[in-house]
Structure 1
Amino acid sequence: MVYLPTVLFSLGEGAVIPLIPVIAARMGADVAFAALVASALVVGQLCGNLPAGWAVSRIGERLTMVIAGVIAIGSGVGMVFAPTLGVLAASVFLLGFCAAAFGLARHAFMTTRVPIAFRARALSLLGGSFRLGVFIGPFVAAGLLQLFGAESAAIWFFLGCLVVMVLLVLLGPDPEKTIPVTTALRTAPLAPDSGEAVSGAIPTAERAGIFRTMWQQRSVLGRLGLAAASLSAVRSARQVVLPLWGLSLGLDASTIALVVGISGAIDFALFYASGQVMDRFGRLWAAMPAMVLMGSGFLALSLTHDLDSSVLWFGMFAAVLGVGNGLSSGILLTLGADVAPKSEPAAFLGSWRTLTDAGGAVAPLMVSAVTALASLPIAAAVVGVIGLVGAGGFIRWIPRFVPRAREERP
């Protein structure tokens, strides 16, 4: 009941996302406009985080997930029957909005109910659930395209996943009632203890609200939050730079897909190891090595473009970036949970996820701009510098905001 809804949502979403530009192109969009339609998903996620934080803090995680699932079904139907590109873009935007609400609801649930002693492993498994869907979804979409010959088949598959997910959340046992809020997160003053399991949002004497929470937590958001945003930016840049690098080397599409796929497989294989490292040795020992690996990998890759063995170096550093990304699995979820205020975590997590999503959204635009103004190797080098600066930020701010004492069992 905790992980299966996440797998269902991400599996359907992972099948649809690669086909959004294709659907837009079939409707008459040029390459630039097709990319714009696809980017509506990220914009929707950015816009959805703060309202999702408000919803989770008011109506609870379960109801937020159900509402997000129902609205996502509407967006899927809109994508299937979209008469114009504008309707398609609006449907994709709505899907991103719902994905933000769904992800934040599950993040808030894990923050309030998982004991600190194994929080990182639980959240790494949650991150792995999202990655599983994104990893397998494109293969499901490819099979459906071969079977039915239409992109709409993947959307119908997504709609089926959403229906099952909504029914599971509505009719299955409610984890909010069966799993109480962890003792570490109970704070005074709270409502008198009735002896019943806590469900829904965490009760507090006074709700701070979204914007007041942002102001109260501006120190951690402006320091550790920016370091987290740099990690999100490097992750996002990896998804853009690797395919472009393969194209610049003159590789065919199947070879590029193979290299990127191997990098993604390494990334997925390491997601639970990240949680083990964080719980056993501390958050810094997953965040810092991951950022150093990815930052150094991008910097080294930028020096290999014109070498005789450039293709070999491309494959090797793609694997290095996969290792770095895999070691960082769950770190953004875990750090957000660690520094979230105990009284009202959902409002803070909305701001935290908006900041990290913004880093991921800006990175592809930055890569595109630097490549246009200079070259792709320069763009890769810039991403590498961001990674190393982000590693320095984690070294500076994780010990301050997440000391080891807060990571240990209460």
Structure 2
Amino acid sequence: MSDDDFSLRRIALPAFGPTLLFGIGEGAILPIIPLGARELGASPSLAALIVALMGLGALVSNIPASLITMRRGERWAIVAAALWSVLAFVLCAATGSLALFTAGCVMVGMSQAVFSLARQSYLTEAVPLAWRARALSTLGGTMRIGLFIGPFAAAAAIHRFGLVGAYGVGIVALLGAALIGARVPDLAAHGAAAAGRQADAARITLGSTLRDHRRVFLTLGVGVVLVSAVRATRQAVIPLWADHLGLEASVAALIYGLAGGIEMLVFYPAGQLMDRKGRRWVAVPCMTIMGGALLLMPLAAGATTLLLAACVIGFGNGIGSGMVMTIGADHSPRVGRAHFLGVWRLMADIGSSCGPALLSILTAALSLGAGVVFVGLMALAAAAQLGYWIPRAGDASTPR
């Protein structure tokens, strides 16, 4: 298919429909996880650590996720991920044990890994290069739309039913994602792409992938680790700072949701900019803006100033929608792509796990404010790393 003949509308339902519902499910519970942990007796530092364990669940599942998607097809990978997350939500909502609550959070991370890899690997194969950033930004943006809707639905449910209402919203959304996934045919590539996947399964190993692409993993991969650490930590920072200020749980969910609304508005223009001008034009501003806002967040003394800081963070994160996926797709080989993307997502999830864990350590040792400032400095370091190593637009070595 030529670039002129391609349209995202043709793949909208199978590519983006389950993603929207999965995002609603996650958006409903992400701001509630730290608060639920606090309700069960966790300290602020332990609550941040539990958020980190969601990333750990994703981290240990990335390589298995690549094998599941490659061998069973993305349709059943989506269904399995959604149902596994439903089980996790039920566990978190029903238990009075902090240990079981933590196990449920790990299960949520596991489902994220399978779901995300299935979506990314398909779009990398199915979308022409000239549309790649827009497609992957739309994928990330669709998730953000879900993450925007979820907290508002959760806030209404919390007001009526307490924290358990947020889990109910998430369960309904995820069951919808599983239903759509089960009814939509696999988006299997064909011809040379299918043959390439068969060769991948037969010949490419994790060791050969690490060896052949070590330069990318040790340069851009480090930047991706930092980006993911900052992004995962912000999910804990906003509700924890709201709790630090003594705000109600429903107010925290609304602030989180409004920040998600800013993210939702800017993903497609950012994708266009990446396709037309190059990946640097989005990667560096994304991290610089987030870093500046995080450095200023400890100055927030009430709901209004916290909302302003959260919205700036949301804008920075929103323009980076699909950025990590796009950079990974650019450098992934045609043969062995699933294994490369599995390792790429593994590196991203190392950051997602380590960022909140580091926030937990700094909060316990110093203060929550000191932890937030350090995360802001990490964002600025990520901007410098990506700005140096991302190839300039038109570089013959990438993308492919």
Q: TM-score, normalised by structure 1?
A: 0.80
Partner of 2:6: none
Contact 1:48 1:101 in 2 (8 A): yes
Shift in Å, 1:42: 2.3
- The equivalent of 1:118 in structure 2 is 131
- Residue aligning to 2:182: 170
Deviation of 1:95 (Å): 2.4
Match of 1:353?
345
Distance 2:184 2:237 in 1: 42
**Partner residue in 1 for 2:289:** 293
The equivalent of 2:4 in structure 1 is none
The answer to whether the Cα contact below 8 Å between 1:54 and 1:209 also exists between their aligned partners in 2 is no
Counterpart selection for 1:202 from 188, 197, 207: 197
Provide the rounded CA distance (Å) in 2 between the counterparts of 1:246 and 1:84. 24
Q: Decide whether the 8 Å contact of 2:48 with 2:360 is kept in 1.
A: no
2:143 pairs with 1:130: yes
Do the aligned residues in 2 keep the contact of 1:61 with 1:108 (CA within 8 Å)? no
Q: CA deviation at 1:262?
A: 4.3
CA contact (8 A) 1:274 1:330 kept: no
1:13-43 superposed Cα distances (whole Å, 9 cap, x missing partner): 22233344555566x5443665555543222
Larger radius of gyration: 1
Aligned to 1:158: 170
1:227 aligns with 2:223: yes
What is the deviation of 1:312? 8.3
Does the residue aligned with 1:354 lie in a helix, a strand or coil? Answer: helix
Q: Which amino acid aligns with 2:104?
A: S
- Asked if structure 2 preserves the Cα contact closer than 8 Å seen for 1:341 and 1:348, the reply is yes
The residue that corresponds to 1:264 in the other structure is 260
1:390 aligns with 2:382: yes
AA at the equivalent of 2:181: V
Quote the offset at 1:223 in angstroms. 0.8
Residues of 2 paired with 1:337 and 1:344: CA distance? 12
Per the alignment, residue 196 of structure 1 pairs with: none
TM-aligned CA distance change 1:173 to 1:50, over 3 Å: closer
1:2-401 maps to which residues of 2 (within 5 A)? 2-21=15-34, 23=36, 28-31=40-43, 37-82=50-95, 84-147=97-160, 149=161, 151-176=163-188, 180=190, 186=192, 191=195, 202-204=197-199, 206-242=202-238, 252-253=247-248, 261-299=257-295, 301=296, 305=299, 317-374=309-366, 378-399=370-391
Query: Structure 2, unaligned stretches of length 5 or more?
Result: 1-13
C-alpha spacing 1:170/1:314, structure 2 compared with 1 (3 Å): closer
Gaps of 5+ in 1: 192-200
Shift of 1:332: 0.6
Q: Are the equivalent residues in 2 in contact too, given 1:11–1:137 (CA < 8 A)?
A: yes
Aligned-residue offset at 1:286: 0.6
Output the CA distance in 2 between the equivalents of 1:53 and 1:358.
Answer: 16
Tell me how large the CA RMSD over aligned residues is: 3.4
Question: Whole-Å Cα distance in 2 between the matches of residues 245 and 152 of structure 1?
Answer: 22
Q: Which residue type is aligned with residue 53 of structure 2?
A: A
CA distance in structure 2 between the aligned counterparts of 1:247 and 1:362, rounded to whole angstroms: 22
3-state SS in 1 of match to 2:203:
coil
Secondary structure in 1 matching 2:198: coil
Which amino acid in structure 2 is aligned with residue 337 of structure 1? A
- Identical amino acids, percent of aligned pairs: 36
Letter of the 1:364 partner, please give it: P
Closer/same/farther in 2, CA of residues 385 and 316 from structure 1, 3 Å limit: same
Alpha-carbon separation, structure 2, partners of 1:273 and 1:267: 11
Name the CA distance, whole Å, in 1 between partners of 2:294 and 2:162: 37
* Structure-2 change in CA distance of 1:312 and 1:221 (3 Å): same
C-alpha deviation, 1:241, in angstroms: 4.2
Q: Secondary structure of the residue that 2:61 maps to in structure 1?
A: helix
Shift of 1:359: 1.3
